[in-house]
Amino acid sequence: MLQDKDTASGWTEPRATAVLVLQDGTVLEGFGIGAVGEATGEVCFNTAMTGYQEILTDPSYAGQIITFTFPHIGNVGTNEEDIESVNAASSSGVRGVVLAASITEPSNWRASRDLDAWLKARQIVGLTGVDTRALTALIRDRGMPNAVIAHDPEGRFDIDALKAKAAALPSMDGQDLVPLVTSGQRFDWDETTWNRGEGYGHQDGSPKHHVVAIDYGVKRNILRLLARAGCKVTVVPATATAEDVLALKPDGVFLSNGPGDPAATGEYAVPVIRKVLDEKIPTFGICLGHQMLSLAVGAKTKKMHQGHHGANHPVKDRTTGKVEITSMNHGFAVDPETLPQNAVETHVSLFDGSNCGISLTDRPAFSVQYHPEASPGPQDSHYLFDRFVQLMDQKKAQV
């Protein structure tokens, strides 16, 4: 840690080695961690107390700087298993991380590396020593700001230049970030969920259904739960055409999570989904996939003030009356006032009443805004994968 000494008083003051400069000119100083250099992005806050490695490898965070409201991040280190991006070796798109407390030594039997070294390896810029409560309050008051995060071990920053860069950054509105995180080619997936003492498993026997998953930034655990549910899973890039998807003769189509403005991604994704729906193939969407399905039937999406990012969001399932504790990560939402008559609102947030799910009355298709695979409940929402399988069972029974 760099220190500046006042020779008159003998007082030693730590020198900032990292800064977060917001688009309005606000400057927050701290101590650098992770990669050295600069990164830009939209600042959001996440209220989860656990799962920071999964959060930092979630492709849906592409283009964003994450502020953790929980102060003790990094205390269980990192490992080679808790990674959500399909390509474990590449960056998931997260631009930076902001923490309150310094990172401590790992204290978990699964840890293979401390968080600071892990951030360096993944080229994620970070800083600690920030009043994350104040930053969170600022975001709640003013919305999610663009910012520049910079780390220099020598503590040398051109603040005026950083302010100008932050002020000139484009809004998340209109940005299609899916190309940054989607797969480059088609591949098969057969890994199932994790068990203590065994690790991740693989499918046994013959899968019951064939699911084509369109990858807008898919998370690994979604694919694992599909495989565990007895589905042969073929993952295709977001650029796959309807002809590409239908040629695989799927029993069901899954629309994955992902980053950015759904309306921008919808320019090429919606026509594909409409053709899948026309064939009445069972369809299930999560997060961005929920927004894609909604856009495909004529609804609109809108930018949220502060978004939903955390693992403690209560959602009511109107079809059962039950309340689920869910994980969420989205900065856009479906406008329920624009849903057509054939789209029923099935789930709502109990925090703000925003739309969290739909089901179509004339097609075997449904979707949710939250992440059932993230297991904060811990398994409150796993039934959604069973619902998807039931739709495929019913479709086959009609043939």
Give the per-residue pLDDT at 151.
98
SS3 category, 225:
helix
Based on the domain organization, do 313 and 199 belong to the same domain? yes
Based on the domain organization, do 62 and 96 belong to the same domain? yes
356 has catalytic annotation: no
pLDDT in tens, 154-169: 999 999 999 999 999 9
Position 297 in a domain: yes
Give the total number of structural domains in the chain. Answer: 2
Based on the domain organization, do 193 and 326 belong to the same domain? yes
SS3 category, 294:
helix
Rounded-to-integer distance, Cα 134 and Cα 99, Å: 12
Residue that has been written with the tokens 């080229």 in this structure: 123
At a CB cut-off of 8 Å and minimum separation 6, what does 193 contact? 200, 201, 221, 224, 225, 228
Give the per-residue pLDDT at 376.
81
Rounded-to-integer distance, Cα 199 and Cα 333, Å: 35
**Annotated binding residue 312:** no
Q: What is the per-residue DSSP string for 58-88?
A: -GGGTTEEEEESSS--STT-B-SS---BSST
**Annotated binding residue 255:** no
Q: What is the CATH number of the domain that holds 211?
A: 3.40.50.880
Position 1 in a domain: no
Joined tokens for residue 181:
């995180």
Nearest Cα neighbor of 201 from 81, 76, 89, 83 is 81
Based on the domain organization, do 198 and 282 belong to the same domain? yes
Q: Which of 209, 287, 330, 356 is catalytic?
A: 287
Based on the domain organization, do 195 and 99 belong to the same domain? no
Position 290 in a domain: yes
**Annotated binding residue 332:** yes
Q: What is the longest distance spanned by two Cα atoms in the chain? A: 88
- Given a contact cutoff of 8 angstroms between Cβ atoms, the answer to whether 286 and 256 are in contact is yes
287 has catalytic annotation: yes
Residue 138: domain span:
18-168
Position 5 in a domain: no
Based on the domain organization, do 265 and 390 belong to the same domain? yes
Q: Which of 42, 54, 324, 373 is catalytic?
A: 373
Position 338 in a domain: yes
The Cβ-side half-sphere exposure at 104, using a 13 Å CA radius, reads 10
Position 3 in a domain: no
Q: What is the CATH number of the domain that holds 151?
A: 3.50.30.20
Give the per-residue pLDDT at 7.
52
Three-class DSSP labels, 238-274: CCCCHHHHHHCCCCEEEECCCCCCHHHHHHHHHHHHH
Q: What angle do CA 116, 22, 68 make, to 5 degrees?
A: 40
Query: 113, 138, 168 — which closes off a domain?
Result: 168
Q: What angle do CA 319, 320, 325 make, to 5 degrees?
A: 105
Handedness of CA 191, 326, 299, 169 (dihedral sign): negative
382 has catalytic annotation: no
Give the per-residue pLDDT at 375.
80
Give the per-residue pLDDT at 196.
83
Give the per-residue pLDDT at 118.
96
Give the per-residue pLDDT at 5.
55
Rounded-to-integer distance, Cα 209 and Cα 397, Å: 13
Rounded-to-integer distance, Cα 171 and Cα 219, Å: 25
Position 11 in a domain: no
**Annotated binding residue 60:** yes
Query: 135, 168, 201 — which closes off a domain?
Result: 168
**What per-residue string of b and e applies to 107-137 under the rule 16 or more CB within 10 Å gives b?**
eeeebeebbbebbbebebbbbbbbebeebbe
Each residue's pLDDT, cut to its tens digit, for the chain (399 residues) gives 566 655 556 566 789 999 999 999 999 999 999 999 999 999 999 999 999 999 999 999 999 999 999 999 999 999 999 999 997 666 778 999 999 999 999 999 999 999 999 999 999 999 999 999 999 999 999 999 999 999 999 999 999 999 999 999 999 999 999 999 999 999 999 999 888 888 889 998 889 999 999 999 999 999 999 999 999 999 999 999 999 999 999 999 999 999 999 999 999 999 999 999 999 999 999 999 999 999 999 999 999 999 999 999 999 999 999 999 999 999 999 999 999 999 999 999 999 999 999 999 999 999 999 999 998 878 889 999 999 999 999 999 987
Based on the domain organization, do 164 and 182 belong to the same domain? no
Give the per-residue pLDDT at 40.
98
Based on the domain organization, do 244 and 369 belong to the same domain? yes
Give the per-residue pLDDT at 378.
82
Based on the domain organization, do 346 and 371 belong to the same domain? yes
CA distances from 241 to 273, 275, 299 (A): 9, 10, 22
Query: 118, 137, 168 — which closes off a domain?
Result: 168
Based on the domain organization, do 162 and 210 belong to the same domain? no
Nearest Cα neighbor of 279 from 357, 364, 391 is 364
Based on the domain organization, do 233 and 347 belong to the same domain? yes
Position 260 in a domain: yes
Based on the domain organization, do 149 and 183 belong to the same domain? no
